Structure 1
């Protein structure tokens, strides 16, 4: 086994996944960047030092098995790939429900299971990416929020059962993040509402979420497992409190 550590990041062609791959690379890791968007992955991988592209749809069990069988070392698996379908609960039919679960939950499970032999050998770790929507309910997110809540529980199961092998498992729950996609679909009204609801009064950045992920993957977090870290600017701490009631009143 090489002394150079290896991280595999799913959903690495853009957003938080790409920022995480860049952060690992900056810290001297070799990075396996996995995504089903072959064209975008091929475009960005050349700009990440010591990175290798893996073309794979994590909702496909055979594709996952083939991708992981080809690996000979893995020190950290970051299960970041996910899809989001937002809409009213009555508009969520079973096909939409399954399409969200197939990537967000099934894909996370499949990659984790496939990675276990390598992670046991390296006494490595898993960082699952859930969402603030898995910690607190929100409108229009019945499938997405439920899938992310399940990822949180999966993380705790992994930590409970894999610790005896020296394998750690933790979860990062991003709050609103200033990704290109979010900025494209969030109206100014939505942006203002999020700012009002978040104690730090702003969106997070992709790099800030990546920093939380790479910390949990590092030796600095060697005694941390089974934890759920909300990287959310304090959003979860406000619960259902109204922003107007957070200020002192006469």
Structure 2
């Protein structure tokens, strides 16, 4: 192992959903650590803006509902840089409008369910499938962004959470099938993360509910998740595969209602 195994010098990484939020933070961090980064996003203008800030970065339009678009991303990356070392599947269907419409199963729209799975599961599968031959050549790896909601039940976002649970199982399947070929596959499960999209989708009162159940003194931000992704993508994590790294500030690590207990024993509820 290299002396500084966290470095990514000379490696090529694709970050889907790289035009903002967690994706943009990850692209910046991977670049800082020496990688050449492809910023893939359906919002190609914003992707080009981010790429313009990063030495050697390339912006590519990506529509995860279109197989040809996904295949073109992989082909363009390899044609431009000559290799592929990391695929970070970060893009998902999670606009504020979609998040607000994604409720419980009884009231679920079939079109919303199908589109969520088309983007989050089918699109991720196609990207992995197209990338794996190139990752096998470089002994590279995949890091999938999932969610703590894929590990816990909730009264909202049934489509999103179950689609991300499917990606967790896909992560394990790829790790099992391609590990002996030198390819690792892991997932990062953020909790509520203070991205611009999240701030728009969830009002302060709902964010406060989650913050109260968080063991840190604040909710995480995109840089927190980027650090986890960059670690798993690096040689420092060479013995880690098939795993889900939960990055939720400890929200999933404790008994339910810890904020109420905290208030009770501090005397706030007296």
User: Which category describes the TM-score, using the shorter chain as reference length?
Assistant: over 0.9
Using the size of structure 2 for normalisation, the TM-score is 0.87
Greater shift, 91-100 or 153-162, is seen at: 91-100
Q: CA deviation at 1:88?
A: 3.4
Q: CA deviation at 1:243?
A: 2.2
Is there any run of 5+ residues in structure 2 with no aligned partner, and where? 1-8
Q: CA deviation at 1:220?
A: 0.5
Q: 2:253 aligns with which of 237, 240, 250?
A: 237
In the other structure, the counterpart of 1:193 is 209
Is there any run of 5+ residues in structure 1 with no aligned partner, and where? none
Q: CA deviation at 1:244?
A: 1.2
Aligned length: 248
CA distance in 2, matches of 1:113, 1:240: 39
Report matched runs for 1:197-208 at 5 Å.
Answer: 197-208=213-224
CA distance in 2, matches of 1:54, 1:188: 34
Do 1:194 and 1:202's aligned partners in 2 also have CA atoms closer than 8 Å? no
Do 1:132 and 1:173's aligned partners in 2 also have CA atoms closer than 8 Å? yes
Report matched runs for 1:2-151 at 5 Å.
Answer: 4-70=10-76, 71=78, 72-84=82-94, 85=98, 86-151=102-167
- For the residue of structure 2 that corresponds to 1:237, the secondary structure is coil
CA distance in 2, matches of 1:69, 1:44: 21
CA distance in 1, matches of 2:71, 2:255: 40
Q: Deviations over 1:142-169 (max 9, x none)?
A: 1000001111111010111110101000
CA distance in 2, matches of 1:123, 1:247: 50
What CA RMSD, in Å, does the superposition of the two structures yield over aligned residues? 1.6
In the other structure, the counterpart of 1:173 is 189
Q: CA deviation at 1:38?
A: 1.6
